[in-house]
Chains A and B, each alone.
Chain A
C-alpha cells in the first residue's frame, strides 16, 4: 500500500532530516509508527500524503509516485489523513456537512454523497449526531467525525498523525476502537502515528523512529520485549511487559514478551 525507497527529506531551513527510510506497508495492515516528539514520525505522515515531497528517494502510495503532480489528488483520495488537533480539521458547522466536504471535492453525485455520509457516520458511531453543530462535540467525537469525513472518500488507507494526543482517556479509547474496526471490517490499511505505547499493542507491526531514522521494526511482542532499548528512547512499555521482565530477572519462569493484562493473568495462574 505504501512503500518508501531510500527516502531522504530535509526542511528548507535544514532544521530536521529524515534519513534513508525504507518502509513497506502492505494492504490491510495495521502499522503503528512510534517515536517521541522530533523523531520524524509526523514528517513521515506528511510525506505519505504528498503534503511534503522527498529530497531524494521515492514514496509510492498505492503504486503511485507522490512526486508526480498529476497523481496528487488520486493519492490523497486513496490515502486519507487525520491530524492531531480535532478543532483544526473540521471545516463545516454541522456534522453531516463536514463529512460531505471530501466527497463534494471529488465531484461525486449527490445521492451517492448522501449514502456515503450516512454510512460513514454509522461506521464511526456518530450517526446520532448527524445534524448537530460540530462545536458542540467532545474532542473524541470530533476526531470520529473527521474519520467519517475521510471514510466518505472511500480511501484504501488512512494515515492518522497523533489523533489521540489531545484527547482524554474515553475519547482515546473510542478513536482506537473505531480505527481497529475500520481495519478489521472495512479492510482499510491503517498507519497510526502515536507516542502512546499502549495504542501499539494490537498492531500488526510497529515501526520505531528516532532522530529521523527508522531504528526498530517488528511485531508488538518483538518490540516490547526489548524493554531496555525502548525505554532508553524515552518511550513507555506496557506496565505488564515491564513486570514480566522484572519477574524474569528474579528467576521466575515467565516469557518476557507479554504485552496484555489477560495474557499475564493466564501465565501467572499457570505458574501457581
Chain B
C-alpha cells in the first residue's frame, strides 16, 4: 500500500515539463485546480482532458504510473460519486424502495468523480516532474515577498526538504519495527479499537525515539557542515525563467482562454 502512493513522489526523467521553473509550475497548478472546479460543461472537460493528456505525454511519465497513484484514493472517488448520485434531488430515473437515482445526481456524481481524478493527476504531475529540492526552492521564492511580514521562508523550505528526505527512511523504519514486534507476538491487525490503539505503543515509542535520535544527529551533521540558517548562503541551483517557461505560460493562457471561449459559446 505504501508503495502505491505516488503523490509527493518524484519521477526522474528528462522532459520539457521537468525543466520548467518550479515557481511557474506551482502557479500553473493553482490555476489548473481552479479551472477544474470552474468548468461545468462536457466540452469544458474535453478541453481539460486534452490538456492533461498533452502534459502527461510531454512529461514522459508512463500513464500507468500516474494511474497507480489513483488507487489509494479510489474509495474517496467512489464515495463522492455515490453521495452525489443518491442525494441530488431532481428527475428520478430509477427507484427502489428509498433509493432514488436522479439524472441530475448521475450528472453531478460523474463530474465530481472526474474533478477529483483530474485534481489528483494534476497535483501528482507537479510533484512527479519537480524534484523535492526544486519544489521547496520554488515555494521559498514564492513566499519571499512575505518575509517582510516575518514569515521564515527559508526555514519553512528547509523543513520541507528535510521532511521529504526522511519520509522514505522513516517508512522503512516503521516497517522494520513493526515486523520486529510481530516476531515477538505483537498483533497490529485484530482486536477492538482500544486494544489496537494500545497495540501501537510498541511501534510508536521506538519510532519516536529513533526519529529524535536522527533529528539530533542530523542537526549536528548540518552544523559541522557550517549551516547557519538562510542568510548569506548561496545556491548551486538558482531558479531562472527560461524560454521554456515563456512557452509554458502561452500554453497555459491558451488553455484558460479556450475554457472561457467554450463557456461563452455554450
State the A residues within 8 Å of B (CB).
46, 49, 51, 73, 76-77, 80-81, 83, 85, 87-94, 96-97, 100-110, 113-114, 117, 131, 133-135, 149-150, 153
Q: Is the CB of A109 within 8 A of B234?
A: yes
Q: In the bound complex, what is the Cα–Cα distance between A149 and B227 (angstroms)?
A: 13
CB contact between B234 and one of A73, A97, A113 (< 8 Å): that residue = A113
CB contact between A93 and one of B131, B224, B227, B233 (< 8 Å): that residue = B131
Contacts of B168 in A (CB 8 A): 135
Can you spell out 8 A-B residue pairs with CB atoms less than 8 angstroms apart? A85-B214, A93-B133, A101-B227, A107-B232, A108-B234, A110-B238, A113-B234, A150-B225
CB contact between A92 and one of B10, B165, B221 (< 8 Å): that residue = B165
Interface of chain B: mostly helix, strand, loop or mixed:
helix
Q: A51-B223, A102-B225 are in contact. Are A90 and B236 (CB under 8 A)?
A: no
A-B contacts, CB under 8 A, total: 100
Interface of chain A: mostly helix, strand, loop or mixed:
helix
Residue B64, interface by CB 8 Å: no
Shortest CB-to-CB span from B9 to chain A, Å, is 10
Q: A77-B226, A93-B133, A150-B225 are in contact. Are A105 and B169 (CB under 8 A)?
A: no
Q: Is the CB of A149 within 8 A of B233?
A: no
Shortest CB-to-CB span from A76 to chain B, Å, is 5
* Contact residues of B between 211 and 245, Cβ < 8 Å to A: 213-214, 217-218, 220-228, 232-238
Q: In the bound complex, what is the Cα–Cα distance between A46 and B227 (angstroms)?
A: 16
Residue B174, interface by CB 8 Å: no
Q: A102-B225, A110-B234, A110-B236 are in contact. Are A92 and B214 (CB under 8 A)?
A: no
Shortest CB-to-CB span from A163 to chain B, Å, is 12
* Chain B residue, CB-CB nearest to A51: B220
Q: Is the CB of A93 within 8 A of B10?
A: yes
Q: Is the CB of B234 within 8 A of A87?
A: no
Shortest CB-to-CB span from B156 to chain A, Å, is 16
CB contact between B225 and one of A93, A134, A153 (< 8 Å): that residue = A153
Contacts of B238 in A (CB 8 A): 110
Contacts of B225 in A (CB 8 A): 76, 80, 91, 101-102, 105, 149-150, 153
Q: In the bound complex, what is the Cα–Cα distance between A102 and B10 (angstroms)?
A: 24
CB contact between B221 and one of A88, A97, A113 (< 8 Å): that residue = A88
Q: Is the CB of A100 within 8 A of B236?
A: yes
CB contact between B217 and one of A85, A96, A100 (< 8 Å): that residue = A85
Contacts of A80 in B (CB 8 A): 224-225
Q: Is the CB of B223 within 8 A of A76?
A: yes
Contacts of A97 in B (CB 8 A): 133, 236-237
Q: A93-B10, A105-B233 are in contact. Are A81 and B224 (CB under 8 A)?
A: yes
Residue B12, interface by CB 8 Å: yes
Q: In the bound complex, what is the Cα–Cα distance between A105 and B10 (angstroms)?
A: 25
Q: Is the CB of B234 within 8 A of A90?
A: no
Contacts of B161 in A (CB 8 A): 91-93
Q: In the bound complex, what is the Cα–Cα distance between A98 and B188 (angstroms)?
A: 37
Contacts of B131 in A (CB 8 A): 93-94
Shortest CB-to-CB span from B50 to chain A, Å, is 32
